[in-house]
Amino acid sequence: MTRTAPVVAHTRAELLQARKELSSRDVAVVMTMGALHDGHAQLVRRARAEHDHVIVTIFLNPLQFGPKEDLSRYPRTFDEDMRICTEAEVDVVFAPTPDVVYPDGDPGVRISAGPLGMVLEGQSRPGHFDGMLTVVAKLLHLSGARTAYFGQKDAQQLLLIRRMVKDLDFPVEVVAVPTVREPDGLAMSSRNTYLTQSDREVALCLSRALQVGADAAVFGPSAIRRAAREVLVEEPLALVDYLVLVHPTTLQDVPEWYRGEALLAVAARVGTTRLIDNTPVLVGPGGGRRDVFSPAVMSDSAPLA
Ligand code: AMP
Protein backbone atom coordinates (compact mmCIF):
# COMPACT_ATOMS: atom_id res chain seq x y z
CA MET A 1 0.00 0.00 0.00
CA THR A 2 1.30 3.47 -0.82
CA ARG A 3 1.27 5.72 2.17
CA THR A 4 1.21 9.50 2.18
CA ALA A 5 4.50 11.05 3.24
CA PRO A 6 4.36 13.27 6.33
CA VAL A 7 4.26 17.03 5.96
CA VAL A 8 7.80 18.27 6.55
CA ALA A 9 8.22 21.48 8.54
CA HIS A 10 11.62 23.11 8.83
CA THR A 11 10.54 26.44 10.29
CA ARG A 12 8.27 27.49 13.16
CA ALA A 13 5.78 28.97 10.68
CA GLU A 14 5.64 25.72 8.71
CA LEU A 15 5.12 23.74 11.89
CA LEU A 16 2.33 26.05 13.02
CA GLN A 17 0.65 25.74 9.63
CA ALA A 18 0.98 21.93 9.67
CA ARG A 19 -0.50 21.81 13.18
CA LYS A 20 -3.44 23.94 12.06
CA GLU A 21 -4.18 21.49 9.29
CA LEU A 22 -4.49 18.52 11.65
CA SER A 23 -8.09 17.45 12.07
CA SER A 24 -7.96 17.05 15.84
CA ARG A 25 -5.99 18.31 18.82
CA ASP A 26 -5.20 14.79 20.00
CA VAL A 27 -1.53 15.03 19.06
CA ALA A 28 1.39 12.97 20.35
CA VAL A 29 5.03 13.80 19.84
CA VAL A 30 8.09 11.56 19.45
CA MET A 31 11.36 13.45 19.77
CA THR A 32 14.45 12.11 18.03
CA MET A 33 17.88 13.11 16.82
CA GLY A 34 17.32 11.32 13.51
CA ALA A 35 19.18 8.24 12.22
CA LEU A 36 15.94 6.44 12.97
CA HIS A 37 15.82 2.71 13.70
CA ASP A 38 13.20 0.29 14.91
CA GLY A 39 13.43 1.62 18.47
CA HIS A 40 12.23 5.01 17.25
CA ALA A 41 9.66 3.32 15.00
CA GLN A 42 8.26 1.50 18.02
CA LEU A 43 7.70 4.81 19.82
CA VAL A 44 5.90 6.11 16.75
CA ARG A 45 3.78 2.97 16.43
CA ARG A 46 2.64 3.33 20.05
CA ALA A 47 1.88 7.01 19.55
CA ARG A 48 0.07 6.24 16.28
CA ALA A 49 -2.08 3.56 17.92
CA GLU A 50 -3.05 5.77 20.85
CA HIS A 51 -3.60 9.20 19.24
CA ASP A 52 -5.19 10.85 16.22
CA HIS A 53 -1.98 12.53 15.11
CA VAL A 54 1.76 12.04 15.51
CA ILE A 55 4.48 14.65 15.18
CA VAL A 56 8.07 13.39 14.98
CA THR A 57 10.83 15.87 15.65
CA ILE A 58 14.26 15.31 14.13
CA PHE A 59 16.76 17.64 15.71
CA LEU A 60 20.40 17.24 16.63
CA ASN A 61 20.48 19.49 19.65
CA PRO A 62 23.92 21.11 19.99
CA LEU A 63 23.07 22.12 23.55
CA GLN A 64 23.22 18.53 24.79
CA PHE A 65 26.57 17.62 23.22
CA GLY A 66 29.83 18.40 25.00
CA PRO A 67 32.78 19.86 23.04
CA LYS A 68 34.48 16.44 22.85
CA GLU A 69 31.34 14.51 21.94
CA ASP A 70 30.12 13.15 18.63
CA LEU A 71 27.86 15.94 17.30
CA SER A 72 29.84 16.35 14.06
CA ARG A 73 29.98 12.64 13.25
CA TYR A 74 26.46 11.77 14.43
CA PRO A 75 24.76 9.87 11.56
CA ARG A 76 22.41 11.96 9.40
CA THR A 77 20.02 9.84 7.33
CA PHE A 78 17.11 12.13 6.52
CA ASP A 79 15.80 10.25 3.48
CA GLU A 80 15.70 6.96 5.33
CA ASP A 81 14.14 8.72 8.34
CA MET A 82 11.38 10.00 6.06
CA ARG A 83 10.82 6.50 4.70
CA ILE A 84 10.39 5.17 8.25
CA CYS A 85 8.06 8.06 9.17
CA THR A 86 5.99 7.49 6.04
CA GLU A 87 5.72 3.78 6.78
CA ALA A 88 4.65 4.54 10.36
CA GLU A 89 2.03 7.05 9.15
CA VAL A 90 3.50 10.07 10.88
CA ASP A 91 1.50 13.25 10.15
CA VAL A 92 4.22 15.86 10.57
CA VAL A 93 8.01 15.75 10.71
CA PHE A 94 9.53 18.82 12.32
CA ALA A 95 13.17 19.00 11.25
CA PRO A 96 14.53 22.41 12.23
CA THR A 97 18.11 23.65 12.13
CA PRO A 98 19.68 25.02 15.34
CA ASP A 99 19.01 28.64 14.32
CA VAL A 100 15.28 27.87 14.11
CA VAL A 101 15.23 26.32 17.58
CA TYR A 102 17.64 28.90 19.06
CA PRO A 103 17.07 32.07 17.01
CA ASP A 104 19.04 34.20 19.49
CA GLY A 105 21.91 31.74 19.80
CA ASP A 106 22.54 29.70 22.93
CA PRO A 107 19.67 30.36 25.33
CA GLY A 108 20.68 32.23 28.47
CA VAL A 109 17.76 30.71 30.32
CA ARG A 110 17.79 26.91 30.53
CA ILE A 111 16.07 24.17 32.41
CA SER A 112 18.25 22.81 35.19
CA ALA A 113 18.17 19.06 35.73
CA GLY A 114 19.35 19.53 39.34
CA PRO A 115 21.06 16.77 41.33
CA LEU A 116 19.47 13.95 39.31
CA GLY A 117 21.26 15.32 36.27
CA MET A 118 24.68 15.10 37.86
CA VAL A 119 24.94 11.37 38.49
CA LEU A 120 25.48 8.46 36.04
CA GLU A 121 25.29 9.94 32.51
CA GLY A 122 25.42 13.44 33.96
CA GLN A 123 28.75 12.72 35.60
CA SER A 124 30.31 11.70 32.29
CA ARG A 125 28.47 14.35 30.28
CA PRO A 126 28.37 17.64 32.22
CA GLY A 127 25.54 19.92 31.04
CA HIS A 128 24.01 17.18 28.90
CA PHE A 129 20.75 16.93 30.78
CA ASP A 130 20.22 20.69 31.08
CA GLY A 131 20.59 20.91 27.30
CA MET A 132 18.31 17.92 26.78
CA LEU A 133 15.57 19.23 29.08
CA THR A 134 15.76 22.70 27.55
CA VAL A 135 15.13 21.37 24.05
CA VAL A 136 12.45 18.93 25.22
CA ALA A 137 10.61 21.82 26.89
CA LYS A 138 10.85 23.89 23.70
CA LEU A 139 9.73 21.03 21.45
CA LEU A 140 6.78 20.28 23.75
CA HIS A 141 5.70 23.91 23.41
CA LEU A 142 6.29 24.08 19.67
CA SER A 143 4.56 20.78 18.91
CA GLY A 144 1.59 21.54 21.16
CA ALA A 145 1.44 17.82 21.96
CA ARG A 146 -0.28 16.68 25.13
CA THR A 147 1.40 13.26 25.12
CA ALA A 148 5.07 12.51 24.53
CA TYR A 149 6.66 9.09 24.03
CA PHE A 150 10.18 8.33 25.25
CA GLY A 151 12.27 5.17 25.32
CA GLN A 152 13.22 3.26 28.47
CA LYS A 153 16.59 2.89 26.69
CA ASP A 154 17.49 6.35 28.00
CA ALA A 155 16.31 5.72 31.55
CA GLN A 156 17.83 8.79 33.19
CA GLN A 157 16.54 11.05 30.41
CA LEU A 158 13.07 9.56 30.85
CA LEU A 159 13.18 10.08 34.61
CA LEU A 160 14.33 13.69 34.23
CA ILE A 161 11.63 14.48 31.68
CA ARG A 162 9.02 13.04 34.05
CA ARG A 163 10.43 15.18 36.84
CA MET A 164 10.46 18.30 34.67
CA VAL A 165 6.84 17.73 33.62
CA LYS A 166 5.81 17.14 37.22
CA ASP A 167 7.94 19.78 38.94
CA LEU A 168 7.15 22.51 36.40
CA ASP A 169 3.49 21.53 35.80
CA PHE A 170 3.74 20.91 32.08
CA PRO A 171 0.28 19.81 30.84
CA VAL A 172 1.81 16.74 29.22
CA GLU A 173 1.58 12.99 29.72
CA VAL A 174 4.87 11.12 29.40
CA VAL A 175 4.70 7.54 28.13
CA ALA A 176 7.62 5.09 28.49
CA VAL A 177 8.25 2.54 25.74
CA PRO A 178 10.33 -0.60 26.42
CA THR A 179 13.79 -0.84 24.85
CA VAL A 180 13.82 -2.40 21.41
CA ARG A 181 16.72 -4.80 20.89
CA GLU A 182 18.45 -6.59 18.06
CA PRO A 183 17.78 -10.35 18.03
CA ASP A 184 21.09 -10.93 19.86
CA GLY A 185 20.11 -8.53 22.68
CA LEU A 186 22.04 -5.40 21.68
CA ALA A 187 19.88 -2.35 22.43
CA MET A 188 19.13 -0.49 19.21
CA SER A 189 20.88 2.86 19.01
CA SER A 190 21.79 5.32 16.29
CA ARG A 191 25.35 5.09 17.64
CA ASN A 192 25.53 1.35 16.84
CA THR A 193 26.48 2.39 13.30
CA TYR A 194 29.87 3.45 14.72
CA LEU A 195 30.62 -0.12 15.82
CA THR A 196 32.92 -2.32 13.78
CA GLN A 197 32.01 -5.99 13.47
CA SER A 198 34.34 -6.91 16.34
CA ASP A 199 33.13 -3.95 18.48
CA ARG A 200 29.63 -5.25 17.99
CA GLU A 201 30.58 -8.65 19.43
CA VAL A 202 32.19 -6.91 22.41
CA ALA A 203 29.13 -4.67 22.86
CA LEU A 204 26.92 -7.67 23.51
CA CYS A 205 28.40 -7.94 27.00
CA LEU A 206 26.26 -4.96 28.10
CA SER A 207 22.89 -6.58 27.45
CA ARG A 208 24.25 -9.94 28.63
CA ALA A 209 25.38 -8.41 31.93
CA LEU A 210 21.94 -6.90 32.46
CA GLN A 211 20.25 -10.20 31.75
CA VAL A 212 22.55 -12.22 34.01
CA GLY A 213 22.22 -9.58 36.74
CA ALA A 214 18.42 -9.57 36.48
CA ASP A 215 18.40 -13.37 36.63
CA ALA A 216 19.91 -13.08 40.14
CA ALA A 217 17.16 -10.68 41.28
CA VAL A 218 15.63 -12.99 43.86
CA PHE A 219 18.92 -13.06 45.79
CA GLY A 220 19.12 -9.30 46.38
CA PRO A 221 21.22 -6.31 45.30
CA SER A 222 24.75 -7.59 45.87
CA ALA A 223 24.00 -10.84 43.98
CA ILE A 224 22.64 -8.81 41.05
CA ARG A 225 25.65 -6.50 40.95
CA ARG A 226 28.11 -9.39 41.31
CA ALA A 227 26.51 -11.46 38.56
CA ALA A 228 26.42 -8.52 36.14
CA ARG A 229 29.98 -7.46 36.93
CA GLU A 230 31.29 -10.99 36.32
CA VAL A 231 30.00 -10.80 32.76
CA LEU A 232 31.66 -7.44 32.16
CA VAL A 233 35.07 -8.45 33.55
CA GLU A 234 35.12 -11.30 31.03
CA GLU A 235 35.19 -8.65 28.28
CA PRO A 236 38.24 -6.43 28.83
CA LEU A 237 37.64 -4.60 25.55
CA ALA A 238 34.54 -3.01 27.04
CA LEU A 239 35.77 -0.10 29.17
CA VAL A 240 33.09 0.15 31.81
CA ASP A 241 32.17 3.63 32.95
CA TYR A 242 29.56 2.47 35.47
CA LEU A 243 27.46 -0.53 36.40
CA VAL A 244 24.86 0.36 39.00
CA LEU A 245 21.76 -0.94 40.68
CA VAL A 246 19.89 2.15 41.79
CA HIS A 247 16.51 3.27 43.02
CA PRO A 248 14.34 4.11 39.99
CA THR A 249 13.46 7.64 41.10
CA THR A 250 16.39 8.77 43.25
CA LEU A 251 19.14 7.03 41.24
CA GLN A 252 20.87 6.27 44.55
CA ASP A 253 22.46 2.83 45.04
CA VAL A 254 19.92 0.55 46.66
CA PRO A 255 21.03 -0.96 50.00
CA GLU A 256 21.36 -4.70 50.52
CA TRP A 257 18.02 -4.97 52.36
CA TYR A 258 16.13 -3.30 49.48
CA ARG A 259 13.30 -5.22 47.85
CA GLY A 260 11.24 -3.68 45.06
CA GLU A 261 11.84 -2.07 41.68
CA ALA A 262 15.33 -0.93 40.79
CA LEU A 263 17.25 0.19 37.75
CA LEU A 264 20.22 -1.90 36.62
CA ALA A 265 22.20 0.36 34.30
CA VAL A 266 25.51 0.17 32.50
CA ALA A 267 27.68 2.47 30.41
CA ALA A 268 30.84 1.40 28.62
CA ARG A 269 33.14 2.49 25.85
CA VAL A 270 33.57 -0.05 23.07
CA GLY A 271 36.12 1.02 20.47
CA THR A 272 35.37 4.71 19.90
CA THR A 273 31.74 4.42 20.93
CA ARG A 274 30.14 5.08 24.30
CA LEU A 275 27.16 2.78 24.81
CA ILE A 276 24.48 2.73 27.50
CA ASP A 277 21.90 0.13 28.39
CA ASN A 278 19.64 -0.65 31.32
CA THR A 279 16.80 -2.78 32.54
CA PRO A 280 14.18 -2.32 35.22
CA VAL A 281 14.49 -5.14 37.75
CA LEU A 282 12.19 -6.32 40.51
CA VAL A 283 14.49 -7.20 43.41
CA GLY A 284 13.33 -9.94 45.79
CA PRO A 285 10.82 -12.80 45.77
CA GLY A 286 9.25 -13.33 42.35
CA GLY A 287 11.79 -10.84 41.04
CA GLY A 288 13.54 -10.53 37.71
CA ARG A 289 13.64 -8.40 34.64
CA ARG A 290 10.84 -5.97 33.72
CA ASP A 291 10.21 -3.98 30.51
CA VAL A 292 9.27 -0.71 32.15
CA PHE A 293 8.63 0.45 35.71
CA SER A 294 5.21 0.12 37.28
CA PRO A 295 2.84 3.12 37.15
CA ALA A 296 3.40 3.58 40.91
CA VAL A 297 7.12 4.12 40.37
CA MET A 298 6.60 6.25 37.29
CA SER A 299 4.32 8.70 39.06
CA ASP A 300 6.60 8.86 42.09
CA SER A 301 8.82 11.89 42.13
CA ALA A 302 10.93 11.37 45.23
CA PRO A 303 13.72 13.92 45.10
CA LEU A 304 17.35 12.92 45.31
CA ALA A 305 17.99 12.89 49.07
P1 AMP B 1 17.48 9.57 20.13
O2 AMP B 1 17.21 9.78 18.69
O3 AMP B 1 18.61 8.64 20.41
O4 AMP B 1 17.57 10.86 20.91
O5 AMP B 1 16.20 8.84 20.72
C6 AMP B 1 14.93 9.37 20.55
C7 AMP B 1 13.95 8.59 21.39
O8 AMP B 1 13.96 7.22 20.99
C9 AMP B 1 14.28 8.62 22.88
O10 AMP B 1 13.06 8.67 23.62
C11 AMP B 1 14.98 7.31 23.09
O12 AMP B 1 14.90 6.82 24.41
C13 AMP B 1 14.19 6.41 22.13
N14 AMP B 1 14.98 5.24 21.77
C15 AMP B 1 16.23 5.20 21.28
N16 AMP B 1 16.64 3.92 21.12
C17 AMP B 1 15.62 3.14 21.54
C18 AMP B 1 15.41 1.73 21.64
N19 AMP B 1 16.35 0.86 21.29
N20 AMP B 1 14.24 1.28 22.11
C21 AMP B 1 13.27 2.15 22.50
N22 AMP B 1 13.39 3.49 22.42
C23 AMP B 1 14.54 3.98 21.96
Any atom of ligand 1 within 6 Å of the Cβ of 151: yes
DSSP H helix total and E strand total for the chain: 10, 10
| Residue 202 in contact with ligand 1 by CB distance below 6 A | no
The pTM for the full model equals: 0.97
Longest dimension (CA), the chain: 56
Residue nearest to atom 11 of ligand 1 (CA): 151
Dihedral (C-alpha) 286, 291, 297, 303: value to the nearest 10 degrees?
A: 120
- pLDDT given at position 298: 80
With a cut of 50, list the residues of the chain below it in pLDDT: 302-305
pLDDT given at position 7: 98
- Confidence at residue 304, expressed as pLDDT on a 0 to 100 scale: 45
Q: Which atom of ligand 1 is nearest to the CA of 179?
A: 20
Close Cβ partners of 87 (under 8 Å, ≥ 6 residues apart): 3, 41
Task: Please give the pLDDT value at position 3.
Answer: 87
Residue 219 CA, ligand 1 centroid: distance in Å: 31
For β-strands 7-9 and 27-32, DSSP reports them as: unpaired
- Please tell me the predicted confidence (pLDDT) of residue 300: 66
Task: Please indicate whether residue 32, judged by its CB atom, sits closer than 6 Å to ligand 1.
Answer: yes
Q: What is the pLDDT of residues 282-305, one digit of tens each?
A: 999 999 999 999 988 888 654 444
Q: What is the pLDDT of residues 74-91, one digit of tens each?
A: 999 999 999 999 999 999
